[in-house]
Structure 1
C-alpha cells in the first residue's frame, strides 16, 4: 500500500486550504488546538459512491471555519459515478481533501489505496490530526457495514474490508502516532454496526460511538447536523451526538425512509459494565442451558432482528440484545436477575437513540445469534469481545443437538396431511403434534405455492403460523389465497414475500427477493426489496432496495438505475425436493422504485395449490404437514 503521509505534509505547505496564509483564522485555531476536527474516511470505491459524494457535498454546506475543520479521505470507483465533487473533476482512487464552505481543496492524490488495510486508516488519522490540530476529534467511517465482521468492501482491492480487529488497530495506531489518547466521537455511517461486538471492541478508542442496528438508507446521516460545531467550538460531544442522531431521523422522514431506521449514541465508557453484565448473563444461561434453552429459542424467534433475508445463509442473524435479555428474564426467572442487570447496563450505555415504527422498542445494541449451529460463521470465534457469548452459543447448540428423538417435533396427522378448511380468512391448515415436543418448540410457519404441471411447487411466500398454548398440541397456519404482484406500469410479475409482523410496532414488513440487472449488464445482483407498511390501512411507509455483497459480506442500499431491470424471484421445489430460486417471469420490470405498484391478487378459482405447515424446536428439528387443494 502506498504510504502518503510525507506527500500530504508536503502539499500542506502549498495548499492554502490546508495551512492557510498568515493571519488565517482557521490556521490560528488549529495552532492553538481549539474547536473540533472531523475526519471522514469515505470508502466510496463501492456501489454507494453516489450516496457518499452527496454526503460530502452536504458536509461542505457546513464547511470548515475558525471553529471546525473537516478533512476527508475519499476513495472512488471507476464505474458508479462520473460526477465532480464540488468542482473537483471525477477521479479513480483516493484523494486527501479539505472541505470548505461549498468547496473542496485537494491536499494529496493518493492513487489506488486499499481502504480495507488498517494502515491506510491509521495514516489518514495521523495525517489528518497533524494537519488539523484541535481540542476535540471525531472520526466518521462511511460505507457498507456487516455488523461484527466489520465495514467496507473496497472493490478495487478484492472487496477488502476492515474487521473489528483491523478497525481497532488502524484507529489506535493512528491516534498513537498523532499523540491523541482517544477520539471524542467515533461514527459508523454504515449498516448494522450498532452491535455489542463493535461497541466493546471500540470502547478504548473513543468516548462516544454512533451507529445503526438496522440497514441504513443510502442517504445516510444528515451532515448538516455538524453545523452545531461550526456555530460553537465549545459544543460538547453529547450535544453533537444528539444533533447527528436527531438529524438522521428528520432527514429519513423527509426522504420517506423513516419507517425502519435506528441510530444510537453509545457512551463507550459504560461498555465495561456491559461487558461484565453480558459475561455474567452468558454464564448463567450456560450453567442452566438444559432448562432455559427452550425459552431462549422461542424468544430468539420473535425478538426484533436486523438485516433479515429470506435466505438464512444470507440473513445477518443480528438480534436486539436488550429486548432479548428482557424477554428471557421474564420467561426464565432463574436468570432474571442477570438479565435485568444486562438490560440496565445497556440502558446506561445508550445515551440517545431514535427508531422508526418498525423498530419500536429497539435497545440500541444488537448481538449475533444464529438459530442453529449450521448457520454460525466460524469466524465469530475470533471476535475477542464475544468470547463469553460465544461459549453460551456453543452450549445452546449442544442442548439442541441433545434433544431426544422422542421429544422432537412429530405431527400425528395421518399420512402427514393437514386438516383443511376454508373460511373468510382463506385456507386454514391444522396439524396436531406429539405433546412430548411441546416444551421445546420455538417457531411455526406456513408456506404456500402453486403446483406446476411437472409436479414441482412454485412458492409464493412464507409467514408465521400459530402454536396453541392450551396444551392441545395444535398448530394453525392461515393463507389468505392472494399472491403479491409488482408492476412498473407496463408489465406485472408475481413476487415471493416473507412477512414479518410485530403487534407492538403496529407495522409489518415484507421482504421480496429480486435479481437486479444494471443497464447493459448480463449478470444480476441479488437484492432484497424491503417494504414497510401499515397493515390496517395498507399504506406503504417505506420501500428500499438493499444489496448483499457476498465477497465482502456487507449490506447497503442499492443505488438502482431507474432504467435497470428487476426480476422477482420465486422459490421452486422440484418433485425430488431440490429447491432453487427462479425468475418469476422472463420479462423484467423497470427498477424505478417510486413508480412500482404493489397489489395482492386473489388466486383464480380452480388453482391447484400446495401449502405446508411446519413447526420447529430450538435445535432446528422440524416436522411438517401439507395439503394439496383446489381454490374454490
Structure 2
C-alpha cells in the first residue's frame, strides 16, 4: 500500500508542476550539464538512451551539491513513453531531492517515472528533424533560457561516424533522426551560434568521434572534446559514475575515461576513450604539417598495414593513430629505429598537450578488433587515398576524399593540399 501511495504522490505532484516555468530564472553558479539525445533511427538506441537518462537521474540523486541537468530527448517514433521530442529539466538540491521531490529509487526508478517528475517542454517538429541546424540551435538556446549558468557542458548521444559526411558510405556524421544527420562542420557552427561562450566540454556518446578532424573542427566551440576514436558499445557512458565528475570545477578527465573503460571491462565490452584539449588543436595541426612536409618524399612508400587503424567493416581505413602513422612514415624516411622517438618528439610533445587523458581496452575478449596499447595515442586521423593505395577498390574513396578536401578544415590545416603525393 505504501509503495502504491508513494507512486501516486509522485505522479500527482509532478503533474501539478511538470511544465517548465515561463519566467526567467536566476543565473546558476558553476556548470550546468546539457544532453541532446536522438534515438529515432532504424537501428534504434531507444532502450539504451532511456537507461542513460535513468542513470543520469540516479547520479543527480547522489550529488552533494545543487545542480541542474537538462535533457533533450528525441524518441523513437511511436514507440516511446514520450510522444514527441521533449526537453526534460531536473534540479537537485544536493540533499537527495530532485524537482522538490524525494528521488525515486528501487523498482520505482524507470524511464517513465523519471519523465513524470521532470519539468518539460514539448516540441512539435512535424517535418523538422532533431539534427536540423535550426532545430538544434533553437533547443540549445531554450536550454540556456531555462537554466542560465556560468558555463555549460554538452553530452551528444546518438549514432555517429566521425568526420565523414552523413549518408555516404553508410555514414552518419553525428546523429540519426530517421536517416538524417548533421555534418561536423555544421555541428561546430551550430554550437558557436548557440552559445556566447565556449562550452567547457562536448562529450560524444557516439561512435568514432575521437579524431583530430573532429577536435580541430570544434576548437572554436568547446574547450574539451571527450570521445572514442572507434565504435562504441550501445550501452554508452556509465552516467551514474561519470556525471558527478562533469559538475566539478576542475573536471578529472582521466577519471572520466577510466570509469568508462572500467564499465566496459566489467561488462565484457571493448572501447577507447580520450579527451582532447581543443585549444591545442592548432598546435597539433602545425606539428603534423611540419612533419608531413619534412618527410613527404616517403609518403608514397609508407606501409599503412603497419599502422594502428580504428575502423571496422564499412568504416575501415577512416582513421589511423596519429603518432603511429609518423612512426611508420619516419621509418620509410630513413630514420634509424634507435633515433625514431627523437625524430617524432615534436609530434609526441604536442600530443601530450592536446590529448590530456586517454585509456583503452587492448584485448577485448568478445571482439576480433584489437587496439595495441603501445600504439594508441588517443586520437586518429584520416590519411588520403594517395598515401593509401593498398586499400580494396570496393571502398568508396571518391566520396570520402572529395568531401574531406572540400569541407574538413584539418585537411587544409595540416597541408595535405600542398604535398606532392604521387
**TM-score, with length taken from structure 2:** 0.75
* Residue 17 (structure 1) shift: 7.0
Runs in 1 of length 4+ with deviation above 4 angstroms? 14-21, 333-338
Question: In structure 1, how many angstroms separate the alpha carbons of the residues matched to 2:326 and 2:21?
Answer: 52
2:349 equivalent in structure 1: 344
Partner of residue 361 from structure 2, selected from 343, 350, 356: 356
3-state SS in 1 of match to 2:149: coil
Q: 1:276-425 residue pairs with structure 2 within 5 A? A: 276-286=286-296, 288=297, 291-294=298-301, 296=302, 298=303, 300-309=304-313, 314-333=315-334, 339-357=344-362, 358-359=370-371, 360-361=373-374, 362-369=376-383, 370=385, 371-372=388-389, 375=395, 376=397, 377=400, 378-381=402-405, 382-389=407-414, 391=416, 395-396=420-421, 399=422
Within 5 A, what are the aligned runs for 1:85-104? Answer: 89-91=81-83, 93-99=84-90, 100=98, 101-102=103-104, 103-104=114-115
Cα distance in structure 1, aligned partners of 2:27 and 2:74? 31
Q: Per-residue deviation at 1:329?
A: 2.4
CA distance in 1, matches of 2:240, 2:31: 15
What is the deviation of 1:364? Answer: 0.9
Maintained 8 Å contact 2:225/2:275: yes
Q: Tell me how far apart the structure 2 counterparts of residues 128 and 203 of structure 1 sit (CA, whole Å).
A: 22
Asked if 1:141 corresponds to 2:153, the answer is no
2:135 to 117, 120, 139: 120
Displacement after TM superposition at 1:170 (Å): 0.9
2:170 alignment counterpart? none
Structure exhibiting the larger radius of gyration computed from Cα positions: 1
Question: CA deviation digits over 1:90-129, x for unaligned, max 9?
Answer: 42x4111114444232422213341221122222221111
2:239 is matched with 223
Given that 1:35 and 1:67 are in contact with CA atoms closer than 8 Å, whether structure 2 keeps it comes out as: no
Distance 2:76 2:415 in 1: 37
- SS of 1:218's equivalent in the other structure is coil
Deviation string, structure 1 residues 336-362 (Cα, Å, up to 9, x no partner): 677431232112211111100132231
What do residues 243-278 of structure 1 show as CA deviations (whole Å, max 9, x unaligned)? 322221121112110xx3100011111112102112
Hey, what does 1:271 align to over in structure 2?
281
Cα gap change, 1:109 to 1:229, in 2 (>3 Å):
same
Aligned residues: 347
Distance 2:329 2:205 in 1: 31
Note the C-alpha offset of 1:331: 4.2
Report the counterpart of residue 530 of structure 1 in structure 2: none
Contact 2:174 2:183 in 1 (8 A): yes
> Using the alignment, how far apart are the partners of 2:360 and 2:346 within structure 1?
23
Structure-to-structure mapping, 1:522-541, within 5 angstroms: none
Deviation at 1:314, TM superposition (A): 4.9
- Structure 1 residue matching 2:224: 3-state secondary structure: strand
Structure with bigger helix share is 2
Q: Deviations over 1:279-301 (max 9, x none)?
A: 22232343x2xx4421x2x1x11
Root-mean-square deviation (CA), in Å? 2.8
